[in-house]
Amino acid sequence: MTNSWTDIKNTDLVVIMGGNAAEAHPCGFKWVTEAKHHRGAKLIVVDPRFNRSASVSDYYAPIRPGSDIAFLMGVIRWCIENDKVQWDYVRNYTNVGYLVREDFGFQDGMFTGYDAEKRSYDQTSWEYELGEDGYVINDETLTHPRSVWQLLKKHVEIYTPEFVENVCGTPKDRFLKICEMIGETSSPTKTMTSMYALGWTQHSKGSQNIRGMAMLQLLLGNIGVPGGGMNALRGHSNIQGLTDVGLMSNLIPGYLAMPRETEPDFATYMSTRGNKPLRPNQMSYWQNYGKFMVSFMKALWGDKATAENGWGYDWLPKLDIVQYDAMRMFNMMKNGEVNIYFCQGFNPLLSFPNRGKMTEAFSKLKLLVVMDPLATETAAFWENHGIYNDVDTASIQTEVLELPTTCFAEDEGATVNSGRWLQWHWAGATPPGEARSDVWIMTQIYQRIRKLYETEGGKAPEPVLNLAWDYADPEEPTAAELAMELNGRALTTLYDATDPTKVVLEAGKQVSGFGQLRDDGSTMGACWIYAGCFTEDGNMMARRDNSDPSGMGVFQQWSFAWPANRRVLYNRASCDPDGKPWDPSRVLIEWNGEKWVGPDIPDIAVTAKPREVGPFIMNPEGTSRFFSRKLMRDGPFPTHMEPFESPMANPLNPEMRGNPVARVFPDDMANMATSAEFPLVATSYRLTEHFHYWTKHNYVNAVNQPEFFVEISEELAAEKGIKKGGMVRVWSKRGQVWAKAVVTKRIRPMICDGKPVHVVGIPIHWGFKGAARKGFGPNTLGPFVGDANIETPEFKAFLVNIEPASEGLA
Amino acid sequence: MSHQYSAPGDHIESTKPVTVSRYRGITRLNHWVTALSLILLAISGLSLFHPSLFFLSGLFGGGQVVRWLHPAIGIVLFLSFFLLFLQMWKLNLPRREDATWVAHIGDVVQGNEDKLPELGKYNAGQKFVFWAMTGLILLLILTGLMIWEKQVPLWEPYAPWAATIPARRIALLVHALSAVGIILVFILHVYAAIWTRGTLRAMTTGSVTGGWAFRHHRKWLRELAKNRKAPDNHNTPAE
Amino acid sequence: MNIDLSRRSFLRLSGAGVAATSLAAMGFHEAEAAEAAHVRDFKLATMTETRNICTYCSVACGVIMYSKGDLAAGEKAELIHIEGDADHPTNKGTLCPKGAALKDYVKAETRLTHPRLRRPGSDRFEEISWDEAFDKIARAVKDDRDANLIEKNADGLTVNRLTTTGYLAASATTNETAWATWKVVRSLGIVGFDNQARV
Amino acid sequence: MTERAPQPTTAAANPPVQPLASNLLPSDVVRISATANVPAPERQLDKVAKLIDVSKCIGCKACQSACIEWNDTHPAIEENVGVYENPHDLTPEMFTLMRFSEYENPQGDLEWLIRKDGCMHCEDPGCLKACPAPGAIVQYSNGIVDFVSANCIGCGYCVSGCPFDVPRIHQTAHVSKKCTLCSDRVAVGQGPACAKACPTQAITFGTKESQIALANERIEDLKSRGYENAGLYDPQGVGGTHVMYVLHHADKPGLYAGLPDDPRISPVVESWKGATKTVGLAAIGLAAAGAVLHGLFSKGNQVTAEEEHEAEELVVKTAAVQPETREEL
């Protein structure tokens, strides 16, 4: 989230689209209720189903799964057409004025540079036109045909209200009412917040869904303002932390990049990073990349990392392809290219698409190691459970190790919430039986492998042997020790750059912020964005002062928020170009003539003069982007794309199937269905009573929602002769499930492209382990394809069929 | 052997003095089981009827025991009364003389039998008790089943309307009223049996004196006398 | 109709039966006085409080664990109850249907308690010791790495890339676990490294 | 002496772990089932109330989870019958329940009305009035109506007495169960577990007038959003309740899964527990006394010796008339 949970109380309008906050984040949703109660805020919900967020909304509109971009571009078009634009904000804080290269273009839903074989774009034309001074050319009149503003207006021209009604199935009157409500927040004293989650991310163009709303928020001046922002409601208690600490194929902690094969040494690697400002005197904070990278390498390899060996650069694995994401690994596994696989607190058999393919993949492994507090379906994929897991046990030769781990109640450490707060927790229960902490388990694995390399030698032992492991008890590092490593410390005494006699930090002391990190090896810090979480003043993450003097829900003294304890990102943009808050009744920071002051930590250098430094300090331009240059694989502007399995052709380009640059493995493309064979649109989602596949182990949650069901409209039920509570069979090109039928008025068929589109809702929470009744998951049905940029599976829109099933089953 | 006024088991046991068998052993046992159940039901029922009587539940081991024991005995009462009903309903059908008997209720209470018509085995009062008991026990068992919390699930599917709360409220009221009714009838029945001397022995020993029969149920006596076979040698008088 | 005589009421029945028959008892002995109105004992008295964060979604509600026994003092601690922490600024003591039932996640019957191994083709898990488990893992990973690690790519550049062993990291472990896991996984050269950010 | 707990003013507080003396005492009881002339308590506790604002309720069932966890109950895991209500009804192990109703309002928009069902803690409790067992149901001066299982005999009268169909009889424990408004928490100055957990604070707890004030504030907000008939549900038919609702459509409570429009103790129950008792006992008493007096003062209906003689004659004479004429008679 750009803002935080408690900031939502400051908003005037909440749009829940691409998510279901009331069900998936009930206690966070409290702040929407607080905003409604105390500020008279309004809540809009746009969703294929009238869900429990809609039950307390002020206005609801249905939408066909997978058509969000058309809706959002339609709202942008309406706002531009009706002059609902926060001009001061847009002119000064976005790249509307910058000129784009001549050779950039857009035709039939495609941008210039598409290569069908490689399924990717040559993005060279997606760039600004630079002046001689190396800076971007800015047309303040916004009239130049190649200015981002004019390109944007041309781009959204096609998304008329009629187009939206036809593609999204949202009645025009309801769409226009929403546009009006949203348009009001273009006023500087009104803010809107977007609360979204997997409803937007789990599409083959998920990233562009989010880009769409981000652009709308920029148009209305709602980024960086109290009660505004792009608020991704992260799903798991520490998925934000695990992403921050870089547990992904292409990441180093702190969102640094894993080196590629094309970057043979440290110098080449650094050459393409730390990009210079594209506008005069912008901070372009990534300039400091080197300080963060070197400090990281010192944390990883300790004193083995020296300037001479490029700080141990060779010992890091080099990527040949960027995304070794889970779906690629399962595909490789199915092809017999993976021998050993670890699942740490994860149940992929139920959470990744095409369960048949998953079972086949696991069956090809030599060794599967599952570490979990609960008995998972993944660890028991070889067990035959009748229709719920129909496998030939004897033929599966995979060895499976199931290791018992502690859960949150039995260990200590920090987790990061959606609002980037690192919060420490303490253990209060004794682990059951022989369950042990994940840290102990990983340490034992490492120490034994290391001992084998020490005694037997082996291939390229240096990375294993040179790994820094200097803990009081090498057999079990403590949470505090690891947390202090993440924060970083001085290795040699640091002196002030301008005055060498002044000591900044003695050797061995914790750094107080990433500003103190150096690129000469004199500091170490495993995760630069966490610098400040565990300083000489102690464990900031354990702070419990819940005072909020400003009443803005900032809570500066409660735990630690990265970066630098800032609670609302880009909060410089909450003030006008002269540093005066847009809305005097809601102040985060303001310029007092010499420096920035206020309840929140300024997201800018404290003494940066208002008119000079732009609010988006990470971007070389210092401004935000309508035109996102090369950063997105599928286009600098979001364009409408149909799901891979869709009930209608893409009106912009009937030949285009799904996202033209999304990665699809050969056998999966053949496994895609058409609406002729599978006429109904299925969407999968969470229920508030359950969390993933964990709470089915908890009898209390099983009582609240005992059995797997699918939700269909009364119209579809009548058409197919399905009765409420009866058993149905739902099947796709990849598999079939049996479920009870919830027949409801909350789902209605929508008219798209002149035809009725029926939606089948499939919740995810059942399997064959735990207290609840045995059931299936939508992943038995879902297509094996993900988002073009980050490979999030397209679970929210695919095609199925449904029929009443014989009662005798299950 | 006609049985217009008498039951098959009735017969004249001896002639000097005349004793008449009125109830066979099985009927008497049946009567006393019914009586005992009714008494226990009354006591346990009353303990739930009014707070001041709740202490009566102590006789049964407390309220919890009353909760399952009362309905259990209710079933016993119903079954045992049903057997009595089978044996006695024919002779309890109203006849002409009953109307005149009722018309002379004043004489009945003062005991001047002479003004009363000759009667068969049962007078109108006894018939009233019989039919009142029948009606009330039916009401009690039906409403009893409706308010018997534990067993509601057993019969609910077959008569869902009877399981609704409004229906069960009415059942509670009717059960209470019927219970009061049956206790009143019970008092009448017991008192009448004591007040009419020589009656109790009918249900204890099974026989009554000839005079009793002559005074109260003369038509019954006449019929038995007729039905009696001629005293030949094999009929020992002490039969 | 089942007459389920719980032991206590059976004794009272048989006792009362005797009383009922004795005529003296007809004098209606004093019935047991109704037990005075009382509320349930407050179950959190003398419990140890521990601050924690709910393990489910990213609202990260503050919770308080109430346990019998103080873990920090080295004792065994049995979890009795979990409730929202009214001091926490995000949830202010409230919890959703999942968080409010956290205790029965911690104490679920299907919590794993022993390392277990399923042998190829077998239809059951067998309990093994931690040592056996780690020896098997270490041996398997080293052999796989020594066999399949790509030290140099086709162009002779040092890549140290291992693709035949993969690692899927969690979603609810702590940052500290994440950092320890990152170090171990990357030192082995694993690139097939992912977490639960997408599902 | 352990310090006495305060009276609760809110549910949003952390429970004490240091032992506190209960502040909800047997002497605070104002009504007791099947017990006449309850001694008036020497102090009057603040009237408490739980307010359920259905317009804030997101139907998440946190109250169900919190209730199960606090009261350590074990409701059965049932099956899905095509609706969101689970369990399907209040049970002896589930004291509160989310009831969902899909309502198409006159403007043609869909409304999903969700109501937290459970004991209303009436000012004039029908359960207490119907209960035959002394001390099984008590009402405290702060308005809480609580079941004392030790005195309960499991007869089910309360089920018929309640105007809201709330009490449930436990099949194996043979006692009646319902929401206790967390009397054990209130006794140590805390609010109910459901009000503590409720994520959107649709459920709040405090003194009755503080909750009425909050309700009025909410009703203004709802009216401003177009719900003209928004209102407070505090039915006077049962003397007002200590669990109140703020409803979007206070003019049509029935929309919310059968919330009674004008709940009161059924006249059948009133007559059963009122007139029938007194008249019934009187009738029995009179009949018994009448029988005894009549027995004492009037002589029995005696058989005379002459009638014995007459009987003999009749029997002998009839026998002499001979068998062959016997058939015609």
Q: From the candidates B175, B189, B216, B217, which is the catalytic residue? A: B189
Task: Give the CA angle between residues C24, C27, C32 to the nearest 5°.
Answer: 110
Residue A404 CA to residue C116 CA, distance in Å, equals 8
Burial class of residue A395, CB neighbours in 10 A (0-12, 13-18, 19+): exposed
Which residue of D134, D136, D197 is in closest CB contact with C84?
Answer: D197
* CA of C77 vs chain D CAs: smallest distance (Å): 15
Residue C30 in this model has a pLDDT that exceeds 50: no
- In one-letter notation, the amino acid at residue A388 is Y
Is D9 within the bounds of a domain?
A: no
Q: Are D211 and D82 part of one and the same domain?
A: yes
Residue A4: CB atoms within 10 Å? 27
- A 10 A CB-CB count for B190 gives 15
Distance CA D164, CA D180 (A): 15
In a domain, D1, yes or no: no
How many angstroms separate the CA of residue C40 from the nearest CA in chain A?
A: 22
Rounded Cα–Cα distance for residues D140 and A379 (Å): 54
* Positive or negative torsion for Cα B99, B103, B104, B108: positive
| A and D adjacent (3 or more CB pairs under 8 angstroms) | yes
Positive or negative, the CA dihedral A628, A629, A635, A636 is: positive
Alpha helices in A496-566 (DSSP H): none
Helix (H) or strand (E) holding A416: strand A413-416
**B104: annotated active-site residue:** no
Domain A666-804, CATH among 2.40.40.20, 3.40.50.10800, 3.40.50.620, 3.30.70.20: 2.40.40.20
Using alpha carbons only, how large is chain B's radius of gyration in Å?
Answer: 21
Which H or E run contains A256? strand A256-257
Q: Verify that D32 and D150 share a domain, yes or no.
A: yes
Q: Looking at residues D271-299, what average pLDDT do you find?
A: 92
Question: Token pair of A284, please?
Answer: 């372009």
**Measured between CA atoms, how close is B53 to chain D, in angstroms?**
10
Q: What is the mean pLDDT of residues D51-57?
A: 97
Q: Domain count of chain D?
A: 2
Residues D261 and D281 in one domain: no
The C-alpha of D35 sits at a distance from chain A's nearest C-alpha, in angstroms, of 38
CB distance D163 to D172 below 8 Å: no
- Shared fold status for A326-442 and A666-804: no
B230 pLDDT tier (thresholds 50, 70, 90): low
Question: Is D199's CB within 8 Å of C41's CB?
Answer: no
Give the residue from C50, C59, C94 with the most A CB atoms within 10 Å of its CB, the best one to mutate: C59
Which DSSP symbol is given to C176?
H
Q: How far apart are the C-alpha atoms of A411 and A547, rounded to whole Å? A: 27
Question: Stretch C85-90: mean pLDDT, rounded?
Answer: 97
Per-residue pLDDT band for C55 (boundaries 50, 70, 90) equals very high
CA distance B55 to chain C (A): 5
CB atoms within 10 A of CB A12: 23
CA A105, chain centre distance (Å) = 29
Which residue is closest to A795 within chain C, CA to CA?
Answer: C199
CA B200 to chain centre: 13
- Do C59 and C95 have their domain in common? yes
The A residues from 341 to 400 touching C (CB cutoff 8 Å) are 341-346, 348, 351-352, 366-367, 369, 372-375, 382-384, 393-400
Q: Measure the CA–CA gap between C5 and B226, rounded to whole angstroms.
A: 56
**pLDDT at res. D8:** 94
Q: Which residue has the tokens 């603040």?
A: D46
- Please identify, among D265, D288, D315, the residue that sits at the C-terminal boundary of a domain: D265
Same domain, D178 and D295: no
The string of pLDDT tens digits covering residues C141-182 is: 999 999 999 999 999 999 999 999 999 999 999 999 999 999
Residue A76: CA count within 13 A, CB half-sphere: 29
Partner-chain contact A50 D112, CB within 8 Å: yes
**What residues does A558 pair with on adjacent strands?**
A544
pLDDT of residue C13: 56
Distance CA D31, CA D24 (A): 14
- Whether C120 and C165 share a structural domain: no
Residues of chain A where predicted confidence (pLDDT) is lower than 50: 810
Provide the mean pLDDT of chain B.
Answer: 91
Q: Given an 8 Å threshold on Cβ–Cβ distance, is D183 in contact with C39?
A: yes
SS3 B63: helix
Chains C and D touch (3+ CB pairs under 8 A): yes
Which helix H or strand E contains C68, and what residues bound it? strand C62-68
**Reported confidence tier of residue C32, pLDDT bands at 50, 70, 90:** low
D174 near B64, Cβ under 8 Å?
A: yes
Helix (H) or strand (E) holding D218, with range, is: helix D208-224
Q: Show the domain range for C177.
A: 149-199
D315: nearest CA in chain B? B225
Mean pLDDT over all residues of chain D?
A: 94
Task: Compare CB distances from D198 to C66, C94, C103 and report the shortest one's residue.
Answer: C94
Distance of alpha carbon A699 from alpha carbon C105, whole angstroms: 8
Q: What value does the CA radius of gyration of chain D take, rounded to a whole number of Å?
A: 30
Q: Are A179 and A78 in contact (CB under 8 A)?
A: yes
Given a contact cutoff of 8 angstroms between Cβ atoms, the answer to whether A401 and A369 are in contact is yes
* CATH code of residue D245: 3.30.70.20
Positive or negative: CA dihedral A335, A338, A339, A343: negative
pLDDT for the residue numbered A66:
97
Q: What are the extents of the domains in chain A?
A: 244-319+472-540, 326-442, 666-804
Contact list in D for residue B115 (CB cut-off 8 A) is none
A378, A350 contact by CB (below 8 A): yes
Tell whether domain A326-442 is in CATH 3.40.50.740: yes
- Chain segment B145-179, per-residue pLDDT in tens: 999 999 999 999 999 999 999 999 999 999 999 99
Q: What is the mean pLDDT of residues D143-165?
A: 96
d(CA A477, CA A498): 38
Q: Is residue C54 part of a domain?
A: yes
Nearest residue of C to residue A526, measured between CA atoms = C179
Contact of B50 with B75, CB cutoff 8 Å? no
Q: Measuring CA to CA, how many Å separate A418 from each of A5, A124, A169, A192, A422?
A: 8, 35, 32, 18, 10
pLDDT reading at C20 higher than 80: no
- Which tens digit of pLDDT belongs to each residue from B182-202? 999 999 999 999 999 999 999
Contacts of B218 (CB under 8 A, 6+ apart): B118, B119
Query: Could D62 and C48 be called an inter-chain contact, meaning their C-beta atoms sit closer than 8 Å?
Result: no
ipTM of the complex: 0.93
User: Quick check: C2 pLDDT over 60?
Assistant: no
- Please indicate whether, in this complex, the C-beta atoms of D291 and B198 are within 8 angstroms of each other: no
Question: Does residue D223 sit within a domain?
Answer: yes
How many interface pairs between B and C have CB atoms less than 8 angstroms apart? 43
Please give the Cα distance from A749 to A754 (Å, whole number). Answer: 12
State how far the alpha carbon of A248 is from the alpha carbons of A242, A372, A469, A561, in Å. 8, 19, 22, 22
Is there a contact between A212 and A68 (Cβ–Cβ < 8 Å)? yes
For residue A206, the model assigns a pLDDT of: 96
Question: Is D280 found in the same domain as D224?
Answer: no
D317, D187: one domain:
no
Chain B residues touching residue C14 (CB < 8 angstroms): 61
Is C38 domain-assigned? no
Copy the structure tokens of residue C112. Answer: 């794993």
Residue pair B13/B21 in contact (Cβ under 8 Å)? The answer is: yes
Is D26–C101 a contact, with Cβ atoms under 8 angstroms apart? Answer: no
* Whether residue C65 is found in the same domain as residue C94: yes
Nearest to C112 by CA among A347, D81, B113, A668: A347
Q: Are the Cβ atoms of B184 and D287 closer than 8 angstroms?
A: yes
Q: Which residues pair with C152 in a beta bridge?
A: C158
Search chain C and give the residue with CA nearest B69: C3
Mean pLDDT of D97-126: 97
Tell me, yes or no, whether D21 lies in a domain.
no
Residue D303 structural domain:
276-326
Number of Cβ atoms within 10 Å of the Cβ of D74: 12
- Asked whether C93 and C84 are in contact (CB, 8 A), the reply is yes
Question: Checking phi first, is residue B107 left (phi over 0); if not, alpha (psi -120 to 50) or beta?
Answer: alpha
Residue A707 in contact with residue A740, Cβ under 8 Å?
A: yes
Contact check, Cβ <8 Å, C171/A423 = no
What is the pLDDT at residue C19? 45
Handedness of CA A337, A343, A346, A347 (dihedral sign): positive
Is some CB atom of chain D closer than 8 A to the CB atom of B14?
no
C18 has a pLDDT exceeding 60: no
Type of residue at A488: G
- With respect to residue D270, please indicate whether it lies within any of the assigned structural domains: no
pLDDT score for C4: 47
Q: pLDDT at position D34, please?
A: 94
Q: Please tell me the pTM assigned to this model.
A: 0.93
